Amino acid sequence: MTPVTELHYLTASETSALLRAREIGAAEVTQAHLDRIEAVNPQVNAIVTVTAERALDRARELDEGPWRGPLHGLPVAHKDLVSTKGVRTTFGSAIFADHVPTTDDLVVKRVRDAGGVMIGKTNTPEFGTGSHTVNEVFGATRNPYDLTKSAGGSSGGAAAALASGMTPLADGSDMGGSLRNPASFCNIVGLRPTPGRVPSKSTIAAWFTLGVSGPMARTVQDLALFLTAIAGPDPSSPLSIQEDPSIFGGSLDSDVSGLRIAFSPTLGGLPVDRETAAVTARAATVFEGLGATVEHADLNLAGADEAFRTYRAWWYLATYGDLPGVGENVRWNVERGREVTGADLAKAEKLRTRLWHRVTGFFGTWDYLIAPVSQVPPFPVEDPYVREVDGLTMPDYLAWMRSCYLISVLGVPALSVPCGFTSDGLPVGVQIIGRPWDDLGVLKVGHAFEQVTKAGSTRPPLYAPGR
């Protein structure tokens, strides 16, 4: 039998194998993670609603029944932007502080159908706005590697929970980096998938491609396991990719020798913190050691910034323009939306179309692009956002996220995978970007990288038993 004190840091794949062999039970796994939440969550503030009784009831039900699917018996934490039937869902907003949905979002239903055990809801800024997880309802989520630092955002609660052993799997979402940034800050892995890979229902902007749902975990193999459950077509989303999610169920082992990989250390001239740049540069050396051809090359991202900001502003107006009482960040985005004209949208569409053709041309030469995830390491948790990067003042709270949001506009899969640490022990991830629809290829390359660096196996120095 595996000691309960060790279960919270097994990978999801390892835990699944033990469950299938009946060496452990789902109730034992669930209790181990609930114990971990009790021990470390007061320090980190990652899981804001713990569904202990419900989770244990579900786990016991699974132990008594047949195998339910790829997530059988595995704890899963849902972002507090995701509606969960009968479980408080605040969206990180004081407006919805007491909101209890009557239906489940699609990702919640898919997790349950695959045998997953909902263990709680993870913290997020109001409506997922911003790459720092703090709100008026629950306060700030702290970085497990340094409790004085931000966990990133907006999926910061998910990333911090994973890093500190509170759950092996968590869902996230990403518009301008909300999944990749916290993955980098917390030394875990997160995939911004191709739009439509993980479908979600929207009643306002069903064809909007900047915002996507995606998986988060401690290993790339676990991301793939999670995708077998949450990916796949659904009629509620017109963007649904029809490919069978079982493609993610096999081994990710692959030979990356001979691949042509472009390394863009500043994504065409963005300011990047010097320590972040130094850690990210190691990725090029790792891939060269694996036999890939790595060269410095920049993808022409002209127009990406303007297109992203225009579409984002329009979406915020459409989604929250009639909602009173929202916080400062949401209000700022809505006001930007009120300034958008038809001519602005026409220009954004033209810019994005040109980007698409440049992207497809770029990936005609290169197999993958590697670049920084975030332009800075984790910053002080008291700061609302990063105001300066490598000596340059940021004009607003969005600007420091450009290394993520410029990629969002492209409609391609992008993986954040642990790369190393700064001299202060703060995590830094590398962003692996692939061709449109090549989510599986991105995961295979990330898996190969992960096997060499082992950076993700360095646990945070939390003062708790069995850390």
Q: Encoding tokens for residue 375? A: 């332009």
pLDDT for 35 equals 96
Q: Which of these, 191, 147, 183, 179, lies nearest to 162 by C-alpha position?
A: 183
DSSP readout, 149-197? EE--SSSHHHHHHHHTTS-SEEEEEESSSTTHHHHHHHT-EEEEPPTTS
Mind listing the pLDDT tens digit for each residue in 213-238? 999 999 999 999 999 999 999 999 99
pLDDT for 467 equals 54
Indicate if the pLDDT at residue 151 is higher than 80: yes
Residue 254 contacts residue 448 (beta carbons within 8 Å): yes
Indicate if the pLDDT at residue 462 is higher than 80: no
Indicate if the pLDDT at residue 323 is higher than 50: yes
Return the axis-axis angle of helices 328-339 and 304-320, rounded to nearest 10°.
110
Q: Encoding tokens for residue 27? A: 């109730």
Residues in Cβ contact with 185 at an 8 Å cutoff, skipping those fewer than 6 apart: 143, 149, 150, 151, 152, 156, 159, 374, 377, 378, 426, 427, 429
pLDDT for 1 equals 33
Mind listing the pLDDT tens digit for each residue in 359-417? 999 999 999 999 999 999 999 999 999 999 999 999 999 999 999 999 999 999 999 99
Mind listing the pLDDT tens digit for each residue in 109-126? 999 999 999 999 999 999
Indicate if the pLDDT at residue 264 is higher than 50: yes
Least confident window among 1-10, 62-71, 325-334, 426-435: 1-10
Question: With a threshold of 0.75, does the pTM exceed it?
Answer: yes
Q: Which residue's structure tokens are 């300011």? A: 271
CB atoms near residue 234 (< 10 Å): 16
Indicate if the pLDDT at residue 4 is higher than 50: no
Q: What is the mean pLDDT of residues 65-88?
A: 98
DSSP readout, 228-292? HHH-S--TT-TT---S-GGGGGS------TT-EEEE-TTTTT----HHHHHHHHHHHHHHHHTT-
Q: Would you name the residues annotated as active-site residues? A: 79, 154, 178
Please give the single-letter amino acid code of residue 48: V
Residues in Cβ contact with 14 at an 8 Å cutoff, skipping those fewer than 6 apart: none
- The domains of the chain, with CATH numbers, are 4-457 (3.90.1300.10)
Q: What is the mean pLDDT of residues 13-21?
A: 97
pLDDT for 463 equals 57
Residue 183 contacts residue 407 (beta carbons within 8 Å): no
Indicate if the pLDDT at residue 3 is higher than 50: no
Indicate if the pLDDT at residue 296 is higher than 90: yes
Mind listing the pLDDT tens digit for each residue in 80-106? 999 999 999 999 999 999 999 999 999
Indicate if the pLDDT at residue 282 is higher than 60: yes
Q: What is the mean pLDDT of residues 436-448?
A: 98
Residue 198 contacts residue 160 (beta carbons within 8 Å): no
As a whole number, the mean pLDDT across the chain is 96
pLDDT for 310 equals 98
